[in-house]
Amino acid sequence: MSNALAVRGVVKKFGNHVAVDGVSFEVPRGVVYGILGPNGAGKSTTLRMINDIIAPDAGEITILDGMKPGGDAARHIGYLPEERGLYPKMHVIDMITFMGELRGLSASEAKKRSGQWIERLGLSQWAKNKVQDLSKGMQQKVQFATALIHEPALVILDEPWSGLDPINAEVLADVVEEIRKAGRTVLFSTHGMEQAEKIVDAVCIIARGQKVLDGRLKDIKRAATAEGIVALGWADDRAREAAERVLADKALVVEQRPPRPGDVADCEVKLADGTDSQKLLSALLGAGVGLRRFELVTPTLHQIFVDKVGAAAAVAERRPEDRHA
């Protein structure tokens, strides 16, 4: 499948600070792709380079099989920047229509599509209001419309959920799904792994400017499941005691930890290299351990991320608003 985007060895420094440190990833056409990572990881900087707002110090960016950022490529991209910006005094319908015309639509087509988006996003009663009269969440929806009205082949959304309530977050997820069904490509950034996990086909996870892992979500999950976390539940206290001896065997289990929040297992264990879940199961049954639960755990993206980078790196390192301090 051809690529919507290829980023190769891209570097961006601000003074002595390396914000993006040799990041490479490819976004196939027709997928929903998430750039994920904590605040300050370098997500927005990467998206700004793709949109030619800033230039990389090193590396290469190729858009839609051959175009460089800016110029022709810009016409095929719909971009929701992190710093939202609309004309506050314009009426909502005129704002969206104006952006459609700027992106090459005829006045009548822009007006027609603007009306459709206003209805689609539940903004009909606000169409004739000034942008500044709308709540932050509603303004954000207007900005989505301005980014999407020209039906770009590549939609780039920087932290699209920030400022959206749960209902509008659903609307956004539906719109993203429609774009995917139309065979177009969505690239978005977020620090919210749970939200992203529901809609992505593939991800690139970054921390401290560097790629931690990338690939299709199902491949990442399959690999992480095979790495072997098993959730265990004991039938009774006797089973718990009997299990202790088995779990102390370092040839079977390298780590024992509490269950995930909300999980009714008694504990989770990480299997030792060279063993597998069947061997653990046999050992437990052989020791007469009564089991209520024995399940290979598919970790969440957040857990995979924490496993790869450690809990400290998984939280915000430096807030974006500190950047000008």
Residue ranges binding ligand ADP (CB under 6 A): 14, 17, 19, 37, 39-45, 318, 320, 322-323
Quick count: other Cβ atoms within 10 Å of Cβ 179?
Answer: 21
Q: Smallest distance from the beta carbon of 301 to ligand ADP, in angstroms?
A: 16
Q: Smallest distance from the beta carbon of 14 to ligand ADP, in angstroms?
A: 3
Residue closer to ligand ADP by CB (options 14, 87) is 14
Q: Smallest distance from the beta carbon of 300 to ligand ADP, in angstroms?
A: 20
Q: Smallest distance from the beta carbon of 83 to ligand ADP, in angstroms?
A: 10
Residue closer to ligand ADP by CB (options 42, 78) is 42
Residue closer to ligand ADP by CB (options 150, 211) is 211
Q: Smallest distance from the beta carbon of 57 to ligand ADP, in angstroms?
A: 13
> Residues 297, 258: contact at Cβ < 8 Å?
no
Residue closer to ligand ADP by CB (options 214, 268) is 214
Instruction: State how far the Cα of 231 lies from the Cα of 270, in Å rounded to an integer.
Output: 9
Which residues are bridge partners to 231 per DSSP? 268, 295
* Phi, psi for residue 160 in degrees, rounded to 5: -65, -20
> Residues 158, 47: contact at Cβ < 8 Å?
yes
Instruction: State how far the Cα of 162 lies from the Cα of 160, in Å rounded to an integer.
Output: 6
Q: In what order do the strands lie in the sheet with 17-28?
A: 17-28, 3-14, 58-63
Q: Smallest distance from the beta carbon of 230 to ligand ADP, in angstroms?
A: 34
Residue closer to ligand ADP by CB (options 11, 242) is 11
Q: Smallest distance from the beta carbon of 321 to ligand ADP, in angstroms?
A: 9
Contacts of range 314-320, beta carbons closer than 8 Å, 24 or more positions apart: 314/38, 314/207, 315/38, 316/38, 316/39, 316/40, 316/191, 317/38, 317/39, 317/40, 317/41, 317/208, 318/39, 318/40, 319/39, 319/40, 320/39, 320/40, 320/44, 320/82
For the chain, helix (H) and strand (E) counts, in that order, are 12, 13
Amino acid found at 285: L
Q: DSSP of 264-284, one letter per residue?
A: --SEEEEEPTT--HHHHHHHH
Q: Smallest distance from the beta carbon of 196 to ligand ADP, in angstroms?
A: 13
Amino acid found at 264: V
Residue closer to ligand ADP by CB (options 42, 56) is 42
Q: Smallest distance from the beta carbon of 21 to ligand ADP, in angstroms?
A: 10
Amino acid found at 104: G
Contacts of 195 (CB under 8 A, 6+ apart): 161, 169
Residue closer to ligand ADP by CB (options 47, 96) is 47
Residue closer to ligand ADP by CB (options 264, 325) is 325
Residue closer to ligand ADP by CB (options 41, 231) is 41
